[in-house]
Amino acid sequence: MNRNLFYLALCISFIAFYTINAQSYFVIKGRIINFSDDTPLVAVNILVKELKIGTISDLNGEFVLHLPTGTQTLIFSYIGFKTEKIVISVSSNSSEILVKMREGAVDISELIITGNPLSSDPKKISLSTLSISNLDLEIKKSLNVAQILNFQPGINMRSNGTAPARPVIRGFGNNRVLILEDGLRMGDLSNSSDDHSLSSDGSLAEKIEVIRGPASLLYGSNAIGGVINVISGSISNSRLNSISGSIFSGYAVNSNERLANAHLNFGTDKLAVHSKLFFRNSDDYHASNNTKISNSGSGAEGVQFGVSFIPDFGLYGISFSKYNSEYGIPFNSFSDNDEGPIYLSMKKEEVKILLEQSELNSIVKSFSIKTGYQNYSHDEKNKKTNQIGTSFGLKSWTTDISFKHEEFTKNMEGIVGFWGQVQKYQVNGEEVITPNADYVSAAGYLYENLTINSINIQFGTRFEHNKVIIPESIVSDSLFDANTTSYNSFSGSVGAVLELNQNVSIFANAANAFRSPTVEELSSYAIHEATGTFDIGNRNLAQENNLGIDAGLRIRKDHHWVEFDVFYNQIFNFIYSEPTDLVYNLSTSSINHASISSGIPVYEYTQTNAVIYGFETKAVYEFGDGLITTVMFDYVRGKQIESNKNLPSIPPLRFMTEQRYHRDNYWIGLIWKLAASQKEVAENENVTTGYGLIDIYLGAKFPTSNNAHILNLRVDNLLDQPYRDHLSAIKSFAGMPGRNIVFNYRFLF
């Protein structure tokens, strides 16, 4: 497989080289300085929006670009500064462009990619979007993406210890939230169980984007709740004529966590090379009062390498990555009984290819092809004996092809796309919990944007076919017949943004989205040692159908922005794992009522019609001289329609406020987080009490000649407050982490 991909990439490079046209290009020079004191800014990222190429500024803040004739948009981004956007008309070799960048965190020019394939102004996107800034990533860098995003509006964290954590959006988790890396699916099993971790380290993200709400139109049936795109930059879109990169190291006291990674970028002319290497290791974490949570340690290592060929009219790249991880699952009385605790050993190898072509003089203005192959596996092992109880494997092939067409009318543009995926899922061992399965999926979609005066309308449709093929299998000494089930879905969405004035707009969206059942939901029938449950699937499950609406108010000015959203989802055939009053008896291998026997609790997949609704808001206000206040609160409610019973795993009401003082070369801040008690729980689900946490941080940046040093100190849970998070799978016997002091150092060159 790897050899074939190598030959394909080689052929693409030759084709790209020989198709360069004879269009005229001119030299554009510029200089970037700090608005407050006119000092040059080093290593500022410069992106040409239309061509998707770019560069960085040198020691003197200077840069050079080779651009074709016409109108081009230059976007300048830098840690701790507001993104600047400049539109220029290229007709000849121009004189030097002077760019003055202002410090600050209120950034209304941030370029949103996910859910916005037409690269329109973020103020004109009807979907509820969120982009984590460079400075926030620097400050809040953590073990995984879920921890970084937790306490962002509408985003919670599902956890099973510290390593296996996954984001939850507006009450939707697991298979209802799609997590991408560079626009492609992760290709792991993190969405199938609480003990499965993401196959990506939180320290490697260069940017994180979130689309909340029913975004399945562009991304498919696993995106009912939303989409998270982790941008790693494995395939560089910028030309480099020098070597640049960073070296990072970090230490966290609570779990004795050690982290190191290195990024290296270099290139010449139209060729760019990107590479990353990382290592992380941690011991068991401690809850408050120094209570050790056994078997919660983790370790990970990985490497990433990408090569890009960047002509003036496109981008052609290929990347290879490898990720290995081991982590323990904090154990309860069942997993500790005789056999001992469980730990997971994970591996993933991945190849990605990206092809982009622009400036096509036809009805198709540009096209993009993303394709990837992932070979994922993990073993669930007994920590005492090191014996494998269950081995999981997943091989995925994914391709997404999109075409941007010419404007049908003066104010209308759009994308036509085709997507396909083939997955082979295997599970082996003495403790097999599901049969093997093959997944085959294909889809076609259309996305259009229409502007009428002050109203911006986005609409589209998607047809998707999903097939699940399950062979004849023996699970827990029971024979299951072969079964093939197909699910066809036709989804659509429409959204509108009304600009009341230059700074204020209102938006609304309506969408019909679908999700097909997984093999775990269809065919589980065994003890899942890592979660301490006996899971029973249901082969009669129908696909979920979600009718979702949301609406909001958006205010974006130079020194503050506010976004308020309300949402309502009606889900037909909502699939969930319901705790029963049954237990599985280990000695007799039988299922009995809990009143007459003891054993492992039985959970059964079932369906109901449900509603999930709520609201969220975030406001950021920048006072003079770098003082910034951020306020966030969100609320989610989930209920079954017919019985009016509560849905399980719904997060509580939350509030957060952050005070930050920030200058060019230093920052300091305090975060206060509040979560209410969650008493609106499902049957047999534990109630959790509310809690309040205080985090503090400070950091500094020291520029020196061609490089810079960045230091960060953060204290999470400053007061060592004991608390149980409602979405924690181990909340019945283990608390969340206590006080944690985190030191980070980054060297930029």
Residue range 388-411: average pLDDT? 88
How do residues 153-197 score in pLDDT, each as one tens digit? 999 999 988 888 999 999 998 889 999 998 889 999 998 888 889
Domain boundary residue among 50, 70, 101? Answer: 101
**Contact yes or no for 262/276 (Cβ under 8 A):** yes
How far, in Å, CA of 550 to CA of 295, rounded?
42
Looking at residue 97, which CATH number applies to its domain?
Answer: 2.60.40.1120
pLDDT of residue 66: 76
Which one has a higher pLDDT value, 221 or 539? 539
How far, in Å, CA of 688 to CA of 124, rounded?
40
pLDDT of residue 332: 66
Q: Within this chain, do residues 380 and 271 fall inside the same structural domain, yes or no?
A: no
Q: What would you report as the CA-atom Rg of the chain, rounded to the nearest whole angstrom? A: 26
pLDDT tier, 122 (very low <50, low <70, confident <90, very high otherwise): low
Residue 644's contacts (CB-CB under 8 Å, 6 or more residues apart) are: none
pLDDT at residue 7 is higher than 50: no
Domain boundary residue among 69, 101, 133? Answer: 101
Least confident of 213-217, 279-283, 699-703: 213-217
How do residues 299-342 score in pLDDT, each as one tens digit? 999 999 999 998 878 889 999 999 999 999 997 654 444 556 88
**Contact yes or no for 353/373 (Cβ under 8 A):** no
pTM of the predicted protein model: 0.84
pLDDT tier, 596 (very low <50, low <70, confident <90, very high otherwise): confident
Q: Within this chain, do residues 641 and 546 fall inside the same structural domain, yes or no?
A: yes
The amino acid that residue 618 corresponds to is: K
Q: Within this chain, do residues 220 and 246 fall inside the same structural domain, yes or no?
A: no
**Contact yes or no for 213/511 (Cβ under 8 A):** yes
How do residues 244-273 score in pLDDT, each as one tens digit? 888 999 999 999 999 999 999 888 878 889
Q: Within this chain, do residues 177 and 266 fall inside the same structural domain, yes or no?
A: no
Structural domain boundaries enclosing 85: 2-101
**Contact yes or no for 626/105 (Cβ under 8 A):** no
Domain for residue 353, yes or no?
no
Distances (CA, A) of 638 to 505, 610, 611, 614, 727: 29, 7, 6, 9, 14
pLDDT at residue 5 is higher than 70: no
Least confident of 471-485, 635-649, 687-701: 471-485
How far, in Å, CA of 124 to CA of 497, rounded?
6
Closest CA to 373 of 8, 113, 12, 14: 8
Domain for residue 29, yes or no?
yes
**Contact yes or no for 116/110 (Cβ under 8 A):** no
How far, in Å, CA of 609 to CA of 63, rounded?
57
Helices (H) and strands (E) counted in the chain, each on its own, are 5, 43
Starting from the edge strand earliest in sequence, which strands make up the sheet with 62-68, in order? Answer: 62-68, 25-34, 97-101
Q: What is the 3-state secondary structure (H, E, C) of 473-523?
A: EEECCEEECCEEEEEEEEEEEEEEEEECCCCEEEEEEEEEEEECCCHHHHH
Q: Within this chain, do residues 257 and 221 fall inside the same structural domain, yes or no?
A: no
Cα-flanking dihedrals φ and ψ of residue 304, to 5°?
Answer: -145, 135
Domain for residue 290, yes or no?
no
Domain for residue 364, yes or no?
yes
Least confident of 17-31, 258-272, 514-528, 538-552: 17-31
pLDDT of residue 1: 43
Paired tokens of 657? 């406020």
Burial of residue 701, with CB atoms counted within 10 A of its CB: 0-12 exposed, 13-18 middle, 19 or more buried: buried
Q: Which helix (H) or strand (E) holds 289?
A: none
Q: What is the 3-state secondary structure (H, E, C) of 336-379?
A: CCCCCCEEEEEEEEEEEEEEEECCCCCCEEEEEEEEEEEEEEEE
pLDDT of residue 58: 73
pLDDT of residue 681: 93
How far, in Å, CA of 289 to CA of 268, rounded?
55
How do residues 483-513 score in pLDDT, each as one tens digit? 899 999 988 999 999 999 888 999 999 999 8
Q: Within this chain, do residues 197 and 259 fall inside the same structural domain, yes or no?
A: no
pLDDT tier, 570 (very low <50, low <70, confident <90, very high otherwise): very high
Count of Cβ atoms closer than 10 Å to residue 3 Cβ: 7
**Contact yes or no for 710/686 (Cβ under 8 A):** no
Q: Within this chain, do residues 481 and 391 fall inside the same structural domain, yes or no?
A: yes
Which one has a higher pLDDT value, 320 or 55? 320
The amino acid that residue 84 corresponds to is: E
Domain boundary residue among 101, 131, 163? Answer: 101
Domain for residue 737, yes or no?
yes
Residue range 633-660: average pLDDT? 95
Domain for residue 349, yes or no?
no
Residue with tokens 């964290």: 157
pLDDT at residue 14 is higher than 50: no
Closest CA to 518 of 478, 463, 467: 467
Total of domains in the chain: 3
How far, in Å, CA of 160 to CA of 148, rounded?
16
How many Cα atoms sit within 13 Å of 293 on the Cβ side? 28
**Contact yes or no for 402/378 (Cβ under 8 A):** no
Query: 429 pairs with which residues across the strands?
Result: none
Q: Within this chain, do residues 441 and 422 fall inside the same structural domain, yes or no?
A: yes
Q: Within this chain, do residues 228 and 149 fall inside the same structural domain, yes or no?
A: yes
pLDDT at residue 231 is higher than 60: yes
Burial of residue 62, with CB atoms counted within 10 A of its CB: 0-12 exposed, 13-18 middle, 19 or more buried: middle
**Contact yes or no for 414/404 (Cβ under 8 A):** yes
Closest CA to 560 of 630, 621, 619: 621
How do residues 68-119 score in pLDDT, each as one tens digit? 777 888 888 776 677 788 888 887 666 678 998 876 655 444 555 666 666 5
Residue range 10-39: average pLDDT? 62
Which CB contacts under 8 angstroms, 24+ apart, belong to 82-85? 82/106, 82/107, 82/109, 83/107, 83/109, 83/110, 83/111, 84/109, 85/109
pLDDT at residue 682 is higher than 70: yes
Cα-flanking dihedrals φ and ψ of residue 690, to 5°?
Answer: -75, 170
Q: Within this chain, do residues 39 and 158 fall inside the same structural domain, yes or no?
A: no
How do residues 700-716 score in pLDDT, each as one tens digit? 988 777 778 999 999 99
The amino acid that residue 187 corresponds to is: G
Q: Where are the beta strands (DSSP E) in 586-626?
A: 590-593, 600-622
pLDDT of residue 56: 73
Domain for residue 294, yes or no?
no
pLDDT of residue 735: 94
pLDDT of residue 55: 74
Residue range 26-41: average pLDDT? 82
Q: Within this chain, do residues 180 and 250 fall inside the same structural domain, yes or no?
A: no
Q: Within this chain, do residues 277 and 381 fall inside the same structural domain, yes or no?
A: no
How far, in Å, CA of 656 to CA of 717, rounded?
14
pLDDT tier, 12 (very low <50, low <70, confident <90, very high otherwise): very low
How far, in Å, CA of 717 to CA of 739, rounded?
5
pLDDT at residue 410 is higher than 80: no
Domain for residue 57, yes or no?
yes
Residue with tokens 């003197």: 60
